[in-house]
Structure 1
Amino acid sequence: MSGKQIKKTHSCPEKRPKNKTPKNIHSKKRKTKKHIRYIKQKEAAKKRQATRRQKILFELGASLITLTIVIYILSLFTFSFVKVEGYSMVPTITNGEWVFVNKLAKRRRFKLILYKDPESKETSVRRLIGLPREKIYYKKDKLYVNDHEVYERFIDSEVQRAKQSKSLYTADWTPRQQVIPEGKYLILGDNRPYGIDSRDYDCVDEKNIVGIVEMRVLPIQNLKQF
C-alpha cells in the first residue's frame, strides 16, 4: 500500500420525499362527497314527493268512493236520473232522453210524473191530470175538472193542428169511475192519439208514483226544465 492514506468517504443516503397529499386531491374528495350528498338528498326528495303523491291519490280515491256512496244513498230517497222509453210523451219528451226526477216534490196537476208499473216493474213518464176526489172528463178536445174547463197549454199547438184537420187530439172520454178514488191519480201521455195511459189501465196508485220529473238533462242540447 502506498503511504498515502486513503480517506474513506461516506455517501449520504438520498432523502425520500415526504408523503404529502396534494390540495387538488382533497378538493376532489370534497366535491365527490358533496355530489353524493346531493344525489342522496335528491333521491330522498323524490321519495317524499312520491309518498305525498300516493297519499293525495289515496285521499282523493277515498273521497270519490265516499261521495259515490253518499250520492247513491241520497238517490234512493230524494232523486234519480231515468232514461225515457217509448213515445207516449211526444212532443214533450221522446224515446231515449234522460230526465231528472225529484222524489220529494209535491204532486200537482200537469206535473210530469215517473210511475212504476206494479206488474212489470217498468217505469214510465206521464202527465198528472186528475187528483183524488176530482171528477174528470174530456169533451170536444177540452179537459173538464169538476165540470169546469181547464186549459192544457202544453198541447195547444197539437190541438190547433187537429182542429184544422177537423179531428180531435184528445177523443171524448170519461173514466169508468167518474170521481177519482182517494189515493189514486189520473195520468195521460202528451201524445194523446197514441199514448198508453189511464184511458187504458185506469188510475194509478199513489204508492206507485216514484216522483216528479223536473228536468230533461240529456241530450244536453235539449236541456229543459219542466
Structure 2
Amino acid sequence: MKYLKSFIREWGVFFLIIALVGLSRLFLWSNVRVEGHSMDPTLADGEILFVVKHLPIDRFDIVVAHEDEGNKDIVKRVIGLPGDTIRYENDKLYVNDQETDEPYLADYLKRFKEDKLQSTYTGDSWDGKKGEYFRSLAKKANAFTLDVNFNTSFTFTVPEGQYLLLGDDRLVSSDSRHVGTFKAKDIIGEAKFRFWPLKRIGTV
C-alpha cells in the first residue's frame, strides 16, 4: 500500500494530464495533413495544421471537412454560408449581389494574368504528368475561378444548414463545384495554426 500511494503521488498527475490531453484531442481539437495543391499558395502539400473543433463557421475560414464521396477529410475555404447566393463573374466574387474581395487569391490571380500559371506549375512539385495536366488546365482556362463546365460566370444558392467550400488554387481544386455543398455536421473544425514545417510555423 505504501508503494502504491508513492506511485500515485509521483505519477498520478502525469497520467491525469495524459488523460486530459487525450479527451481534448477527441472532443476539442485535431490535426490534419494537407494533401495536394488545392490550397496553394496559402497552404502547401504536406503541411500539418492544428484544427479546433466546435467553433462558429465564418466566411473565409479555412476548415477541415469530411467528403463522403471520397471518404476523406479535405482542407478548403468557406465561401458561401447557409442561404447565400454566391456568384462569380470573370474572377469577381459576389455574395448576395455584393462584390466581395478575395485577397488570398491575389498572388495566383496575378500569375494567371501573366502567363496562365505556366511557370508556377513547373518545377520539383509539378514534374511528370501532374504538371502537364495542371498546365493544360490553366492554358485553356479563360478565368482563374471556373465552374465544372469551364464557365467564367456561374451561381450557387447555398441550402440552409450547408456551406460552399472552395480551394484557393481554383484551377486544380476539387471542391463544392464538383461534390456540392457541405452540411454543418461534415465540417470537423477550423484550421487555426500550422506547426509543420518549422520554417512556415504560424497562424493560417
TM-score normalised per structure 1: 0.69
- What displacement does 1:146 show? 1.0
Of 144, 156, 160, the match for 1:169: 144
Separation (CA, whole Å) in 2 of partners of 1:162 and 1:102: 33
Q: What is the number of equivalent residue pairs in this alignment?
A: 171
Corresponding residue for 2:137?
A: none
Higher strand share: 2
Task: Note if contact 2:108-2:169 (Cα within 8 Å) is conserved in structure 1.
Answer: no
Of 216, 220, 223, the match for 2:194: 216
- What displacement does 1:137 show? 1.6
Corresponding residue for 1:157?
A: 107
Of 178, 181, 189, the match for 1:200: 178
Give the letter for the 1:168 counterpart: A
| 1:145 partnered with 2:125 | no
SS for the counterpart of 1:174 is strand
Separation (CA, whole Å) in 1 of partners of 2:14 and 2:145: 49
- What displacement does 1:78 show? 1.2
Task: Note if contact 2:86-2:157 (Cα within 8 Å) is conserved in structure 1.
Answer: yes
Corresponding residue for 1:108?
A: 58
Separation (CA, whole Å) in 2 of partners of 1:60 and 1:185: 49
Alignment of 1:113-128 (within 5 A): 113-128=63-78
Separation (CA, whole Å) in 2 of partners of 1:213 and 1:141: 25
SS for the counterpart of 1:185 is strand
Alignment of 1:5-84 (within 5 A): 55=6, 59-84=9-34
SS for the counterpart of 2:154 is coil
CA-based RMSD of the aligned residues comes to: 2.1
Corresponding residue for 2:85?
A: 135
Provide structure 1 residue ranges, at least 5 long, that are not aligned to the other structure. 1-50
TM-score normalised per structure 2: 0.76
Provide structure 2 residue ranges, at least 5 long, that are not aligned to the other structure. 117-141, 147-151
Ranked by relative contact order (alpha carbons within 8 Å, sequence separation 6 or more), the top structure is 2
Give the letter for the 2:36 counterpart: G
Give the letter for the 1:210 counterpart: I
